[in-house]
Amino acid sequence: MNPPSYILGLSYGYHDSAASLLRDGEIIAAAQEERFTRVKQDARFPQNAIRYCLREAGVNLNAISTVYYYENPDKKFDRIIQTYLNFGLHGLKSFVQEVPDWLLNKRHVKRALQSKFQQLFPSSAASLPHLEYIDHHESHAAAAFFPSPFQQAAVLCVDGVGEWATTSAWIGSENRLTPLWEIRFPHSLGLLYSAITYFCGFKVDSGEYKLMGLAPYGRPLYAKQIREHLIDVKEDGSFWLNMDYFDYAVGNSMITEKFSHIFSGPQREPEGLITRREFDLAASIQVVLEDTLLRLARTLRKQSGIRNLCMAGGVALNCVANGKLLASGIFDQIWVQPASGDAGGALGAALAGWHMREQAPRLPQSGDRMRATLLGSSYDDAEVAASLRGLGAVFTRLEDTKLCPHVAQLLAQGNVVGWFQGRMEFGPRALGSRSILGDARNRDMQSVMNLKIKNRESFRPFAPVVLEEHVGEWFDIDRDSPYMLFVVGVQQQKRRQTSAEDQALEGIELLKCIRSEVPAVTHIDYSARVQTVGANANPRLRELLQAFHAQTGCPVLVNTSFNVRGEPIVESPANAYLCFMRTQMDYLVVGNYLIRKSDQPALVEQGDWREEFALD
Ligand SMILES: [Fe+2]
């Protein structure tokens, strides 16, 4: 029998560094560097994530045959030079700033990787793995298709930019991806959405989610201006941006002066008051994005003749648009890669390497290959106990049979519970392994969780996690949604008439209005970002939901990520305990250990911990 083949996929250098490891094509481990370094969207060489992946597989670097990097720096450099040539003198200033760095450093990723590996694993220096580049959109397409449950699918990748492509379409069949067409930089749906995000005073690459959450408060009053001035969308979904309004191609900003002329005034200051204009802009760009994606999807459905769609790229995290795409029925089934951003490129690069370069077959499977995204680090019972003891925590250990009924009771009593179990999730969402949970029926839960725990004022409700077999009773969706990637309506029979008092609310206050039996997870337009938990997904989370359902008749909980604003999701029991102690969570559960806030010794810290994390 041949020894197993191990390959590593990496993304790093821009944002969201990550590593993933395949053994004979099976996804063994994947993790983002930020979780280990505690620096949000850490872009540095993912040394901790690599070490973790090797540890998980029980191998050292010598076992890795090839490392696949998630984009091609030569092609990217070509795009950068071509863009400067096209824009002429206008880009001279940033040309002088950027190009020398490319010539000296950024272009030579293989050389940099080699030296990083040498430093990290000095004993393996004599036999470093082979290094290969995979194109950025090929990495996204591979992450979208190869782990999906489909043997055949149309694949759509939409993001900011990689080398040249900003939108690409593919046919996935068995172990092959065949490119159909692409739309190239500087014309980018992702960068258009980011430009509006920036104009509305939110951070590019992380504030896009906020813009999406803001959309239901507004009316699409600016959609006409966006279409008239910023983007020309053709019937087939292809589009063209008017670069008079955008400066990202060769400048130092997302937008030009002219941008503010069409939206009545300058951009909103970060952390400033959110006005009606921002609500309406969010609603407007959401409508334009959805319409463009629907057109692209129709074109792809027609061209491919295939009924399954796979998606990846940062824009595929727009779960409101995904919900519309699902409801449109253009495709029968849609599978979206849960790590659709560039961290997922690490996984895609490895999968593209395995199936496309090494031509390994794709074995038949039932369900997808993402293991509910539980691809990250975990801590066994003894490690948890040792860690908690070392931190001076006061805790009790509950037996398996007692744990979930007890925690369900605590939740039903209105407590907020930090929930740390098993392997960490890969991708931006916490799906019940590194989560904060609460009772979705509780009318105060939304504001309690936001203000006392997440340290933020939010216009977004939290996401519901629901037992898969009950999802149809509570939400308007007829299938599973294990990755919280589709926004759908709350079922009519669970909705409530709003009171006259509630109807008088305005702006962000609208979120306080009780619209359903699960107000903490119901947005102002009665929508919800649903996560379903089926029989094979996350056994302990499922058991907790079942216990809560048995006690209360409600199979829904609030699920939000275990972190505060600006902090990466917790990785270790120590991270979890610190976050628990810094906030007003009532209980923490790590594995079988229950920790009650009121039993804990006071946390002594120097300085204000809030300054540790830059606001996102
Ligand atoms: Fe990307």
* Distance in Å, CA 562 to ligand 1 centroid: 25
pLDDT at 403 over 80: yes
Radius of gyration of the chain (CA): 24
* Average pLDDT over every residue of 122-151: 92
* Distance in Å, CA 65 to ligand 1 centroid: 25
For residues 379-416, one letter each, b for 16 or more C-beta atoms within 10 angstroms of the residue's C-beta and e for the rest, the string is beeeebbebbeebebebeebeeeebbbbbbebbbeebb
The Cα–Cα gap between 383 and 574 comes to 11
* Distance in Å, CA 123 to ligand 1 centroid: 34
Nearest to 378 by CA among 572, 577, 593: 572
* Distance in Å, CA 248 to ligand 1 centroid: 16
Nearest to 288 by CA among 237, 326, 216, 218: 237
Q: Quick check: 403 and 548 in contact, CB under 8 A?
A: no
pLDDT tens for each residue of 232-258: 999 999 999 999 999 888 777 899 989
* Distance in Å, CA 136 to ligand 1 centroid: 6
Tokens of 440: 């979705």
pLDDT at 412 over 80: yes
The Cα–Cα gap between 591 and 488 comes to 32
pLDDT band at 265 (very low <50, low <70, confident <90, very high): confident
The pLDDT, as a whole number, for residue 537 is 84
* Average pLDDT over every residue of 67-92: 86
For residues 465-485, one letter each, b for 16 or more C-beta atoms within 10 angstroms of the residue's C-beta and e for the rest, the string is bbbbeebeebbbbeebbbbbb
* Distance in Å, CA 140 to ligand 1 centroid: 7
* Distance in Å, CA 49 to ligand 1 centroid: 19
Amino acid at 592: N
* Distance in Å, CA 199 to ligand 1 centroid: 21
pLDDT at 97 over 80: no
* Distance in Å, CA 167 to ligand 1 centroid: 10
* Distance in Å, CA 347 to ligand 1 centroid: 12
pTM value is: 0.95
The pLDDT, as a whole number, for residue 455 is 72
Compute the mean pLDDT over every residue in the chain, rounded to the nearest whole number.
Answer: 93
* Distance in Å, CA 536 to ligand 1 centroid: 30
Task: List alpha helices for 341-459, DSSP H.
Answer: 343-352, 381-390, 400-412, 445-447
How much of the chain exceeds pLDDT 70, in percent? 98
Residues in the chain: 616
The pLDDT, as a whole number, for residue 206 is 81
pLDDT at 84 over 70: yes
The pLDDT, as a whole number, for residue 609 is 67
pLDDT tens for each residue of 322-357: 999 999 999 999 999 999 999 999 999 999 999 999
The pLDDT, as a whole number, for residue 136 is 98
* Distance in Å, CA 159 to ligand 1 centroid: 5
Q: Quick check: 478 and 472 in contact, CB under 8 A?
A: yes
Nearest to 16 by CA among 586, 569, 577, 572: 569
Q: Is 32 helix (H, G, I), strand (E, B) or coil?
A: strand
Residues near ion ligand 1 (CB < 5 Å) are: 159, 342
* Distance in Å, CA 180 to ligand 1 centroid: 18
pLDDT tens for each residue of 279-300: 999 999 999 999 999 999 999 9
* Distance in Å, CA 486 to ligand 1 centroid: 20
The pLDDT, as a whole number, for residue 89 is 63
* Distance in Å, CA 197 to ligand 1 centroid: 17
pLDDT tens for each residue of 174-226: 999 999 999 999 999 999 999 999 999 998 888 898 999 999 999 999 999 99
The pLDDT, as a whole number, for residue 164 is 94
* Distance in Å, CA 326 to ligand 1 centroid: 22
* Distance in Å, CA 580 to ligand 1 centroid: 33
pLDDT band at 450 (very low <50, low <70, confident <90, very high): confident
The pLDDT, as a whole number, for residue 87 is 75
* Distance in Å, CA 342 to ligand 1 centroid: 5
* Distance in Å, CA 341 to ligand 1 centroid: 6
pLDDT tens for each residue of 141-174: 999 999 999 999 999 999 999 999 999 999 999 9
Amino acid at 431: L
Is the model more confident about 503 or about 261? 261
The pLDDT, as a whole number, for residue 83 is 85
* Average pLDDT over every residue of 467-491: 97
* Distance in Å, CA 344 to ligand 1 centroid: 9
* Average pLDDT over every residue of 411-437: 97
Tokens of 366: 């039932």
pLDDT tens for each residue of 483-498: 999 999 999 999 998 8
Segment of 92-106, 204-218, 558-572 carrying the highest mean pLDDT: 558-572
* Average pLDDT over every residue of 592-609: 88
* Distance in Å, CA 615 to ligand 1 centroid: 23
* Distance in Å, CA 76 to ligand 1 centroid: 12
* Distance in Å, CA 554 to ligand 1 centroid: 38
pLDDT at 457 over 80: no
Measured over the CA atoms of residue 443, residue 444, residue 446 and residue 447, the dihedral's sign is positive
CA angle 432, 438, 442 (to 5 degrees): 150
* Distance in Å, CA 194 to ligand 1 centroid: 13
* Distance in Å, CA 500 to ligand 1 centroid: 46
